[in-house]
């Protein structure tokens, strides 16, 4: 599981844009995992796209995660599946996928992070850390809540929500080592450059922390 720079797709960023060409550029820029998340496609279309995306992510040694659909994730031999509170519960997903997939789960408050400790999951997507344009209805938790979530969780945390290249330093210094991003890469025309900016900021912040003896 490598969710360091974890790119989440969104319908609105692929209008008039080739899915595979765009994602390959992002992978070339340093994205370590891709979550396939589309709301307006039928099952057959998603399956066929995921088959191609599985080949692409393997080419770049990156993880492939499928949002919501554990059946599709299994069918294309993805690495993981991500579910939210309105999806199939993690317990049921685990019965379905066994140990073939890792499972991610969304938490939007510290209380939900605490509750998630009892679930059969492998990571928690926690946010929104900053205001975001990707979702209309979201809970803004902020950096202090992120620090507390990292402190209380025994399960790896992926921070999400409004994370742009210029904010990478803040979240990494707060202790987060897994960054989920959508607009921070896909909203730019040059997604490869945006991905490289994420990687550069991430590595530079870790280097600074190491020099300060904080790693």
How much is the pLDDT for 136?
A: 64
Taking the alpha carbons of 153, 204, 186, 2 in that order, is the dihedral positive or negative? negative
pLDDT band at 133 (very low <50, low <70, confident <90, very high): low
Tell me which residue range forms the domain holding 30. 5-211
Report the number of distinct structural domains present in the chain. Answer: 1
Taking only the tens place, the pLDDT of each residue in 70-85 is: 999 999 999 999 999 8
More confident residue, 8 or 132: 8
Give the integer Cα–Cα distance in Å for 7 and 22. 12
For residue 18, the model assigns a pLDDT of 96
Question: pTM of the predicted model, to two decimals?
Answer: 0.94
- CA proximity to 175, closest of 163, 154, 158: 158
Is it the case that residue 39 has pLDDT exceeding 90?
no
pLDDT tens per residue across span 40-65: 899 999 999 999 999 999 999 999 99
The continuous run of DSSP H or E covering 115 comes out as: helix 110-116
Residue 28 belongs to a domain with what CATH number? 3.20.20.70
CA 164/CA 47 separation, integer angstroms? 30
């Amino acid at each position: 599981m490598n969710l360091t720079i974890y790119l989440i797709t969104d319908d609105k960023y692929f209008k008039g844009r080739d899915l595979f060409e765009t994602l390959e550029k992002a992978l070339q820029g340093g994205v370590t995992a891709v979550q396939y998340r589309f709301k307006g496609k039928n099952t057959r279309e998603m399956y066929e796209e995921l088959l191609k995306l599985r080949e692409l992510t393997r080419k770049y040694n990156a993880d492939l995660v499928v949002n919501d659909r554990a059946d599709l994730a299994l069918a294309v031999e993805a690495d993981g599946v991500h579910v939210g509170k309105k999806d199939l519960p993690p317990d049921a997903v685990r019965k379905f996928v066994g140990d073939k997939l890792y499972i991610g789960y969304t938490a939007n408050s510290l209380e939900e992070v605490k509750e998630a400790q009892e679930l059969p999951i492998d990571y928690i997507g926690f946010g929104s850390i900053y205001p975001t344009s990707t979702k209309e209805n979201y809970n803004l938790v902020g950096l202090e809540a992120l620090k507390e979530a990292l402190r209380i969780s025994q399960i790896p945390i992926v921070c999400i929500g409004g994370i742009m290249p210029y904010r990478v330093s803040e979240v990494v210094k707060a202790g987060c080592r897994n960054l989920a991003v959508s607009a921070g890469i896909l909203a730019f025309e040059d997604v490869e450059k945006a991905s490289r900016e994420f990687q550069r900021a991430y590595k530079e912040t870790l280097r600074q922390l190491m020099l300060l003896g904080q790693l």
